[in-house]
Amino acid sequence: MNDASPDASANARFSTRIFSGIQPSGGLTLGNYLGALKRFVEKQDEGIEAIYCLVDMHAITVWQEPARLRHATREAAAGFIAAGIDPERSILFNQSQVSAHAELAWIFNCVARMGWMNRMTQFKDKAGKDKEAASLGLYAYPALMAADILAYHATHVPVGEDQRQHLELTRDIAIKFNHDYGVDFFPVTEPLIEGAATRVMSLRDGTKKMSKSDPSDMSRINLTDDADAIAQKFRKARTDPDPLPDTLEALEGRPEARNLVNIYAALDGTSPQEVLVAFAGQGFGSFKPKLAELAVESLAPITAEMSRLMQDPAEIDALLGRGAERAEAIAAPILEQCFEIVGMVRSRRR
Ligand code: TYM
């Protein structure tokens, strides 16, 4: 995929395989959709083998009300399918159904160093001021993420910008494991952080990431929002009084404007520069309604299909179960080999 990369030769013996995950807590946002889900569909449609996971074990690193977690997991699965993930072509499942993730994570807890974990900015952000009260799981989170990816010998991971540091840690874990045990067992995974929407920002503050954990619902578009809510949120989105310029450089220092241009480009499948060519000189009074219209046009069919799929939760569960079986068939032999390498006696008949 990226032959120019220095790791292309190191990974040559691994066939291209994509893995990515989304936390099923609190519903999917436009940030998840543009930064991840829409790109998952593109990768699938390029014919690349892909495994997509609803990471319910990552979700419980902060408190989740059990019934809500179960609902959100099914809803996220419905979102994937509604957005175009074909569960026959790609593998779609929830993490807790494949025990290899937790087992490999333990091995990686013993490979990763405290110093590495201490540098993780997401832990610092999520733990906030009271680090003593954060769960041990939140601290170990990136090792479980490395296990998600490496349990499948995945070579490429499409994510948004906020996951870059975790993927660097995944690479460090693979390299250290291979080095410590004198093997060439885990691939050194490539992050795929591409496109106009690798960092979708809050609609209330262009310097903050759009996030499901933001207390203000007006800061984000949810995939479950109806057309009126979407239009209202874009109408009220914070902007500045200036018209749109004709160059990207001129958007510097205008984070809210830049964010709306990026969102438009990502929804439309064009580039931010092309958006500026089309809208230069126009104020937000005319740009925002066009953006809202485009967003509704793109998201309404997904929202409708999601709620249709949610009427049959048993079907969603069955589909996740089939996905988990396929995922396990790939991960189990890799995990078995990994235990052998580490020196565990493996005499049980499986
Ligand atoms: P999560 O659940 O926070 O987000 C899922 C995906 O959506 C992307 N994303 C965004 N992209 C652009 N703009 C935004 N505002 C935005 N918000 C979220 C994220 O970058 C991500 O790609 N740790 C991961 C889940 C995970 C994972 C993995 C990902 C667990 N194991 C293995 C890849 C591979 C997370 O919390 O993502």
pLDDT digits (tens, 9 = 90+) for 218-242: 999 999 999 999 999 999 999 999 9
Regarding whether 95 and 47 lie in a shared domain, the answer is yes
- C-alpha angle 117-19-120 in degrees, rounded to nearest 5: 15
Q: Do 207 and 201 form a contact (C-beta atoms < 8 A)?
A: yes
CA 53 to chain centre: 9
- Give the pLDDT mean for 182-200: 96
Regarding whether 241 and 141 lie in a shared domain, the answer is no
Regarding whether 64 and 129 lie in a shared domain, the answer is yes
Regarding whether 337 and 304 lie in a shared domain, the answer is no
126 counts as catalytic: yes
Ligand 1 atom closest to Cα of residue 198? 12
Dihedral over Cα of 335, 337, 339, 344: its sign: positive
Distance CA 268, CA 277 (A): 14
Looking at 6-20, 40-54, 320-334, which range is the least confident one? Answer: 6-20
pLDDT, position 2? 46
Regarding whether 285 and 321 lie in a shared domain, the answer is no
Regarding whether 295 and 262 lie in a shared domain, the answer is yes
Regarding whether 182 and 253 lie in a shared domain, the answer is no
Regarding whether 165 and 225 lie in a shared domain, the answer is no
pLDDT, position 45? 94
* pLDDT tens string 94-120: 999 999 999 999 999 999 999 999 999
For the cut 90, the answer to whether the pLDDT of residue 317 exceeds it is yes
Q: How many domains does the chain have?
A: 2
- Domain assignment present for residue 347? The answer is no
- Domain assignment present for residue 141? The answer is yes
209 counts as catalytic: yes
* pLDDT tens string 5-39: 555 566 888 999 999 999 999 889 999 999 999 99
Substitution site in 18, 25, 32 for ligand 1 pocket (most atoms within 8 Å of beta carbon): 32
Q: From ligand 1's centre to the CA of 31, what distance in Å?
A: 9
Smallest CA separation from ligand 1 atom 5, residue: 22
Q: From ligand 1's centre to the CA of 160, what distance in Å?
A: 6
Regarding whether 330 and 185 lie in a shared domain, the answer is yes
- Give the pLDDT mean for 200-223: 96
Residue of 176, 212, 288, 290 with catalytic role: 212
Distance CA 269, CA 289 (A): 18
Q: What percent of the chain has pLDDT over 90?
A: 93
Tokens of 179: 């080095």
Q: What percent of the chain has pLDDT over 70?
A: 97
Domain of 277 in residue numbering reads as 217-308
Distance CA 153, CA 140 (A): 20
* pLDDT tens string 252-272: 999 999 999 999 999 999 999
- Give the pLDDT mean for 177-182: 98
pTM (2 decimals)?
A: 0.95
Substitution site in 55, 157, 198 for ligand 1 pocket (most atoms within 8 Å of beta carbon): 55
pLDDT, position 350? 75
- Domain assignment present for residue 106? The answer is yes
